[in-house]
């Protein structure tokens, strides 16, 4: 709406403006372009690029936390990491968590969005209730559930009539973290689905109704196909976030690695190596390995998107 008025003013002078504008733009841009990006690049270089390069360098050394007297050890840290069963266990726990959380959160977010979209009254109330937990700090949400899950004094078992040792048995510890995470973070994906649902043009449904399609068919043939892109996004964001599991796991387990080390995530193991064992070189090698894993996931998604776009064409 705001775009129409200046445009009508420009139209008579369009040709002249385009010609003059092009030269002005090039000249001005050459002078100032770099200055626009400079402040961001300065912060970015100091706190993203430099740590990455430094991490790469440290990963070839036996540096400790003081950063002094680091000797070059070649690929030793990487060799050790690949043979370190504790690292593979930690990576396994993060992967296990991801495999449990991602499908559950995607389905749950979709169902909640359908529910909130189709109830006609008090829409703000459903949105508020489903989204509110996401606004809590990770540690607060984790403390709440730590208390709900504690055997004896916890209301979770009490309400469901169970006596499950959620936080102290290795087969229940990770599922407890998964339940907490679903409750805490589903609101974000729920909002993405809700926005996508609201973006589906109503005339598609009207037309389908005129053709005699029932509610089920409308969902299968209109809603689900229209939500394909957003599902891809939700799944990708959730995989990347879940692999970085840390906050809720350590807080729910009182900063321990969980019963029989069963909830020690990759991030937690890396930080233990760096800050508890003071093996900065080794921890850096693991950070680089983790960066490569995350990059592979992110690149795989970009590749999938591209092939699908080409397939659509």
Residue from 167, 173, 267, 269 that binds other proteins (CB under 8 A)? 267
- Shortest separation between residue 57's beta carbon and other proteins, angstroms: 9
Site for other proteins in 247-266 (CB under 8 A): 247, 251, 254-255
Q: Distance between alpha carbon 11 and the CA centroid of its chain, in Å?
A: 45
Q: Contact 170/262 with Cβ under 8 angstroms?
A: yes
- The reply to whether 290 sits near other proteins by the rule CB under 8 A is yes
- The reply to whether 61 sits near other proteins by the rule CB under 8 A is no
Residue from 62, 104, 188, 256 that binds other proteins (CB under 8 A)? 188
* Residue of 68, 124, 107 lying closest to 281 (CA atoms): 68
Residue from 69, 203, 211, 311 that binds other proteins (CB under 8 A)? 203
d(CA 313, CA 305): 13
- The reply to whether 78 sits near other proteins by the rule CB under 8 A is no
254-293: string of b/e by CB count within 10 Å (b at 16+)? eeebbbeebbbbbbbbbbbbbeeeebbbbbbbbbbbbeee
- The reply to whether 96 sits near other proteins by the rule CB under 8 A is no
Site for other proteins in 111-170 (CB under 8 A): 112, 115-116, 118-121, 124-133, 135-145, 147-148, 152-155, 158
- The reply to whether 300 sits near other proteins by the rule CB under 8 A is no
User: Is the Cβ of residue 173 or residue 269 nearer to other proteins in the bound state?
Assistant: 269
**Total residues in contact with other proteins, by rule CB under 8 A:** 115
Site for other proteins in 40-59 (CB under 8 A): 40-41, 43-44, 46-52, 54-55, 58
- The reply to whether 192 sits near other proteins by the rule CB under 8 A is yes
């Amino acid at each position: 709406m705001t775009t129409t008025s200046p445009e009508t003013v420009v139209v008579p002078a369009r040709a002249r403006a385009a010609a003059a504008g092009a030269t002005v733009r090039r000249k001005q841009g050459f002078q100032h372009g770099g200055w626009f990006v400079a402040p961001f690049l300065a912060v970015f270089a100091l706190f993203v690029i430099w740590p990455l390069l430094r991490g790469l360098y440290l990963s070839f050394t036996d540096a400790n936390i003081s950063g002094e007297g680091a000797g070059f050890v070649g690929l030793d840290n990487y060799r050790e990491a690949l043979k370190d069963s504790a690292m593979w266990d930690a990576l396994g726990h993060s992967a296990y968590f991801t495999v449990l959380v991602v499908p559950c959160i995607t389905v749950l977010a979709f169902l909640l969005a359908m529910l909130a979209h189709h109830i006609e009254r008090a829409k703000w109330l459903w949105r508020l209730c489903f989204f509110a937990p996401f606004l809590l700090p990770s540690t607060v949400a984790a403390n709440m559930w730590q208390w709900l899950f504690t055997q004896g004094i916890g209301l979770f078992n009490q309400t469901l009539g169970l006596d499950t040792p959620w936080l102290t048995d290795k087969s229940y510890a990770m599922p407890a973290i998964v339940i907490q995470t679903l409750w805490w973070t589903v609101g974000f994906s729920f909002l993405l689905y809700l926005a996508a649902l609201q973006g589906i043009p109503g005339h598609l449904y009207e037309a389908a109704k005129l053709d005699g399609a029932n509610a089920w068919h409308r969902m299968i043939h209109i809603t689900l196909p229209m939500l394909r892109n957003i599902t891809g996004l939700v799944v990708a964001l959730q995989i990347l976030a879940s692999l970085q599991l840390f906050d809720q796991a350590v807080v729910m387990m009182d900063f321990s690695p969980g019963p029989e080390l069963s909830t020690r995530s990759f991030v937690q193991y890396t930080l233990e190596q760096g800050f508890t064992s003071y093996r900065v070189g080794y921890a850096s090698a693991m950070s680089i390995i983790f960066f490569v894993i995350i990059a592979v996931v992110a690149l795989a998604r970009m590749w999938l998107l591209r092939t699908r776009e080409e397939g659509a064409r």
